[in-house]
Structures are given as structure tokens and as C-alpha cells.
Structure 1
Amino acid sequence: MEFWNLFMVALMPVLKVLLITALGTILAIQRFDILGDTARKNLNHMVFYVFGPAIVCSSLAKTITLNNVLILWFMPVNVLLTFLIGTALGWLLIKITRVPLHLHGLVLGCCAAGNLGNLPLIIVPAACKKTNNPFGDVDICRKNALAYASLSMALGSIYIWSYVYNIVRIYSRKVSSVDDDSKVKAVIATENDDTENPSKSQTDDHVMQLEIECIISHQQTKVSSSSTKQKIRNWLKILTEKINLKVQFAPSTIGTIIGLVIGIVPQFRKVLVDENAPLFVIQDSLVMLGDAAIPAMTLLVGANLVKGLKGVGKQIPLVIGIVLVKFIAMPAIGMGIVKGATHYGLIHPDPLYQFLLLLQYALPPAVAMSTMVQLFGGGEGECSVIMLATYTCAAVSLTLWCTFFVWIVLS
């Protein structure tokens, strides 16, 4: 009986996610085309630039204080561990299944980056809504849940756009380098064939020679700079490419910084956050905007899955491997880490907080992976298939793991 009670507590929030996700998928199919490519792009911009930062900023400003920051210190460590462990398991998956080079960045990113924003923001507060929820008073539970989930979303955004972004970028460059080498070999081979076949036109010979010179000179310029000044320039260029400040300071990251500053500094709280604050209307407006983030995010998840409906059968071994990593290996390892940290007194004893830390290991890949793959090119179709398969499996796995996690933190 206790199992079924916990199962229903875990099922309800996941079921809400599934229903809204399914609606997003239906609205995106060609027959309705309400969430077509243009609409998805515009809605994604609204979530990225407006709704997401609003909910992060308002939630953190309202609930996070200096004391809370010290209490929640383990969450950044926990999120970092999910990324590092996922990367290690993804590397093993690449070696075992012999994934093609152009998909290495995609596989590592999908294994490392979980959906630390959308799903916790939906699942964790929803688990508090019932009066008989296992986490205590409804209002206090939901207030803490929004704060924990917002911090999770902010940390996930920072790690995704600093750590995973650079993994995908590095592997995309490796693929480009291999392609350039292939082009050089192909052009040289063609030139040799033309030498053996004098019937080729002289114009074609000149074109081939020009292509060879352009490609080889492009590669040689990377190593031919000898002056110290040029070396310093190249080094600074590489550094600025690696540290993309525009990417690092995404809107949700800026919202996190502002929210933390308002929450931690008492003077700002008195002016903006307290109910009798003279500028409370600003906080109230942010809350109103933030309320639109959760349904919009969930609809986008469903709409983006439409692309994966084609070609599922071609990627079955890869999909099975990622499902095993994300929904079996990662949660099992995460339980050991969180329970061990709890045993040694490193984690705040709030069951809701421990539940979120465990949940961070059982989430499907981050939706931002689709954006990164489109940005660097290559693997868009495989990414859509992976997203469709993992989010479909998450319907079952998240319910079961949430049930088990609730039982663990309350036992």
C-alpha cells in the first residue's frame, strides 16, 4: 500500500509532463502546424530570453538567502558530478558501440547533460501540490521546490554552455579537419588521374590546381606563423573562441546572478521582494512572466520530438546505449553519491532537497543539445531520434525512479 501511495505521488507530476508534451507534439505535426518551425523558433526565443530568466530570478530572489546559499553548497558539486560521470559513461559507450566520429560530440553531450531545467521545474513543485504530499506543508514545500529547481536550472545552463558546448565544438572541429584532409586527398587523386588521362581539358587542370593550393595553404597557415606577434594574436584568438562570453552569460545565467544578489542582500529584499516593498510590483511581474515558462518549455519539448519520428530504426544500438546510461547507470551511481554524502552530513537534511539531488541523475538529455547540434552542423537527425526515444522512455523510468527516490529520502 505504501508503494502505491508513493507511486501515485511520483506519477502525477510525470503524467502532467507527458500530457503537455503530447499536446506540443500534436500541435507541431504537419496536419495542425500550430507549432511549426517558425512558431517553435519564436517560442524558444521567448522562453530563452524572457520566461526562463524571469522564473529563475523571481524564485531565487524570493527564497534564497545567504544562509540558504551556504546550506545548498552541495548542489553545484552534484550537478558537476552528473556531467563528469555522464561524460565518462558516454566515452565508454563510444568505444563499445564504435560510434562514428561525427557523432562523438553528440553522444558525449547527451550522456553528460541532463534536462536540469524544464523537468525539475515541473516535477518537483508538482510533487508538493497535494495536501497529503510526503514533503510537508504545501505552501512551504512549493516555495522551496521552486527555489531548488530554479537553482538546478541555472547551474545546468552554466555547465551546459561552458562544458558541453566546448565538447561539441571540439569534436565538430575534428570532423572538419578530417573532411579537409579527405578533400586534399581526393583532389590530389583526381589530379593524378588527369595526368594519366591527357584528354582532360586544360581548364579543369587549372581549377584542380587552384583547389589544391587553396586547401593546402589554408592548412599550412595554421602552423606557418613564425613571428612572436602573430603567435600572440593566434593565442588570443583561440582563447576568445574557447571562452565565448556571450554563450557563458546566457539570459538564465544573468537571471541567476540578479536573483542571487537580490536574495542575499537584505537591502534589495526590503525594496523588491517583501510584500510591503515599494518596488514589489517588479517582483510580482517577474513571477507572472515566470509562470508562463513551465508550460511553454514543456510544449517545446513535445514539438521538438516531431523531427525524431523519422528514422528511429536506423539508430537503435546508439539509442539503447544512451537509454542504459541515462536511466540505469546514472541513477544507480547517483544514489550511491547522494546517500554517501547524506551519511557523512554533507547534505542539507531536507527530504525535498535530497529528492532533487537524486532526480538530477535520472533525467533525459538536455533540450539544448538540439540547439548545439544545429549550431555546429551534423547529427541533427540522430539528435532528434535520441530525444524522441529518451523522452518516451523517461515516461516510465522517471515515474519508477521518482517513486524509489521518495521512498529512499523518507526512509
Structure 2
Amino acid sequence: MGFVDLFSAASMPVLKVLIVTALGSFLALDSVDILGQSTRKQVNSLVFYVFSPSLVGSNLARTITLKSIISMWFMPVNILLTFIIGSALGWLLLIITRPPQHLKGLILGNLGNLPLIILPAVCKEKGSPFGDPNVCHEYAMAYASLSMAIGAVFLWTYVYNLVRVFSDHSHNSGNDIIVSDKETGPMEDELIQSLLTSSSKAVNMKAKLKVMVDKLKQHFGSFSRRLNLKAVFAPSTIGAIVGFNIGIISPLRRLLIGTTAPLRVIEDSIYLVGDAGIPTVTLIIGGNLLRGLRGSGISLPLVLGIVAVRLIILPFFGVLVVKGALYFRLVDADPLYLFVLLLQFALPPAMNIGTMTQLFGAGESECSVIMLWAYGLASISLTLWSMFFMWLVASFI
């Protein structure tokens, strides 16, 4: 496979994203004002509650079966590793750069949703190393849907809570979400003092245990309020659960999926709504990037550090992880599947991070700058990494 073919197959999907993003920036111009700040916030809510769960659920229902989920068992592990390694690198960056409190949630690892755009487009290119375009497209949609669903679960549980906790802490460290040091410090002192007092007075063991249990309950309650466990069941997570059940449970699948399914109009309608999700989010990102051009006061070393971690360092770890999985025969030598696993480590930050910052009203302008640099440079890095990954997976077989 020649260099030109590889470059064409790798660059076309990225160019599509850039074109839609540029359109979003144009619509957000003050002179146009179709996608202004208030409009973007309202559309973000629509994406969060309607488009994202429909997109995740409908694609999973159509492409995931019990057999395919077993064959792709390593993908959830791979995505988990992207979050773990990304978070570890993010914590190192936090230590080095010492950013403001409300930005810490934006720096830690997350997974973008570009595979649903990139993979089908790659299959259509004549330089693609993945064989027949129709077969490639079918499997690509399954891989991309599973990747997006699992990524959504991690994003709206782990990353969502990080952004929420740090954002709320920057506004009010004494509310019902964040427990301030003034609350936790005396609590711990009281626990120690009560134990010392009870020991000195030779109080029986039952009283000691009661004190400890009461204090542990208080600590657990504080942690639960801080974490907001309700976000585990964010709309995208619910969509993923529903999609998995429809795809895996045969009676439900026969009822909703396929040209002869009695209730196919329901799934088709959900799929139609979900199709609007990715272009809508991409347009919003374009509008948010316009704010990044105007600056936000965020330090340049922090931005460059985030970009370096996401687009340069993390993909190197991805190569090691996937080669290790292949060496230990945890995955089959399927070029498309290996390409997806590698690609998950090379994606820019998730577009839904912008949705989160607007939902919480903290770090919006800084997020815009980060996204501007990340997606601007990703147009180069993602093309180069995709070329390298295609060459690499071709050498595996």
C-alpha cells in the first residue's frame, strides 16, 4: 500500500470533521449569530438528553449481538486503560502546571466519539487496508458503536463527576456537593478525640465501635454527595443499557431490528434522531472554538501539555498495550479491530466535555481554548497516527 493511498484514507475523515467544525464557527460569528452562546447552551441540553442516548442506543441495538460482544471482550478493557493511563498522565500534568481548581476535571483522561465518523469513512477509501468496503462498514459500525457506548459510560460517570466536583468546588466549597476542609477536619478530629476519650475512660468495645460506625457513615455520606452517583444513570448510559439489551436479547431484537420486525418503526425513529447527534455536537464544538480564538487567560504551557499528552504520549502507550494484547493472544489479528483499539488512544478530548462545562457554567472559555488547540493539531496528528496504525496493523497479518 502506497503512501498516497494511506494518506488519503487517513486524512479524509479528519477533513470532514474540520469542515463541519468550521461551519459551526461561522454560524457562531456575531455577524451571523445563528449559533450564539445561548443557542449553543440550549442545543447542548438537547444533545445531552435526546441525541446522545438515541445515537448510542440505536447503533448498539443494530450492530451488537451476543456473539459479537464476546468476540470484542477486550475493547472495554482497552477503553478502561485509555482512561487509567490518560488520568495518570493528567495527574502528572496537574502536579507540574498547577492549574486553577475548576480546570482539573478537564485535564484528566477521556475518550472522544470520533470513531463513529472516522471508521465508516476509512472503509470507503480505496486505499483502505481493511478489505471489502461493505463488510468493513458493517464491522466498523459495530466497533464504533461499542466504543462510543463504553466511552459514554465512562465519560458520564467518571469524567462528568470530575468536572462537576471541581467546578462546584471553585464556586462554593461549602455546599451540599463539596465538603470543605472546615467540615471534614473537625469530623476527623472528633473521631480521634472520641476514641482517645473512650480509651482513657475504659468505655466498652461496643461504644467504641458505635462511634466509629457513626463517623464512617458521615464520611460516606459526604463522599456520596460529592460524587453524585445519579450521574451513573445519565441519559447516554441509559441509552447504552437499552441498546445492549435489545441487541443481545433475541426476542427483543426480532421485535425491533430488521426489515421484517413488527416494531421496526420505533427503532428506525430513534436511529433517525440519533443521526443528528454527531453533526450537532461537531457544530457546537465549532461554535465553542470561536471563543478559543478570542483567548481566555489559560496558560500556554498547560494547553500544550494537554495536547502533548492526548495526541503524542498517549498513542505511544496505545501501541504498547495493543502489541502486548496481540502478543499474549488476548485479541485476534483482525486489522480493523486492532486499528480501532489503537485509534482509541489517539483521539482528541471528547466533544461532550464542552457540553459538561456549559451545563455547570465553569471553564467554558478555557475548554474552548483547549479544544481549539487539540482539534486543530489533531487534524495533523490523527492523520499521521492513522497512517501509522494502518501500516502497523497490515504488518501484524
Determine which of 224, 247, 250 is the counterpart of 2:234.
250
2:99 and 2:223 mapped to 1: Cα distance? 30
Determine which of 283, 288, 303 is the counterpart of 1:319.
303
Alignment of 1:389-408 (within 5 A): 389-408=373-392
Amino acid at match of 1:258: V
Aligned Cα root-mean-square deviation (Å): 2.9
1:93 and 1:123 mapped to 2: Cα distance? 29
Alignment of 1:174-253 (within 5 A): 231=215, 234-235=218-219, 237-253=221-237
1:113 to 2:113 alignment: no
Deviations 1:98-136 (A, max 9, x none): 4455543333x2xx1131x2x111111111224663222
How far the C-alpha of 1:96 sits from its partner, in A, is 2.9
1:46 and 1:295 mapped to 2: Cα distance? 13
1:259 to 2:256 alignment: no
Determine which of 160, 163, 170 is the counterpart of 2:155.
160
User: 1:66 — aligned with what?
Assistant: 66
How far the C-alpha of 1:283 sits from its partner, in A, is 2.1
2:103 and 2:309 mapped to 1: Cα distance? 16
User: 1:125 — aligned with what?
Assistant: 120
1:131 and 1:220 mapped to 2: Cα distance? 63
Q: Is the 8 A contact 2:9 2:127 kept in 1?
A: no
How far the C-alpha of 1:178 sits from its partner, in A, is 8.3
Change (3 A) 1:135 1:40: same
Change (3 A) 1:383 1:282: same
Deviations 1:140-176 (A, max 9, x none): 2222222211211121121122222343455457657
1:172 and 1:45 mapped to 2: Cα distance? 18
> Normalized against structure 2, the TM-score is what?
0.84
User: 1:333 — aligned with what?
Assistant: 317
> Normalized against structure 1, the TM-score is what?
0.81
The structure whose Rg is larger is 1
2:182 and 2:303 mapped to 1: Cα distance? 41
Change (3 A) 1:22 1:91: same
Structure 2: where are the runs of 5+ without partners? 195-209
Q: Secondary structure at the match of 1:127?
A: helix
Determine which of 271, 274, 286 is the counterpart of 1:302.
286
Amino acid at match of 1:65: T
Deviations 1:281-317 (A, max 9, x none): 2222222222222221211221121221122675211
Percent identity for Structure 1 against Structure 2:
52
How far the C-alpha of 1:401 sits from its partner, in A, is 0.7
Q: Is the 8 A contact 2:156 2:236 kept in 1?
A: no
1:84 to 2:84 alignment: yes
Q: Is the 8 A contact 1:315 1:382 kept in 2?
A: no
Deviations 1:42-101 (A, max 9, x none): 322222222222222222112211111111111111111111111111222233334455
2:46 and 2:341 mapped to 1: Cα distance? 28
Structure 1: where are the runs of 5+ without partners? 181-214
Q: Secondary structure at the match of 1:397?
A: helix
Paired residue total = 372
Determine which of 339, 342, 345 is the counterpart of 1:358.
342
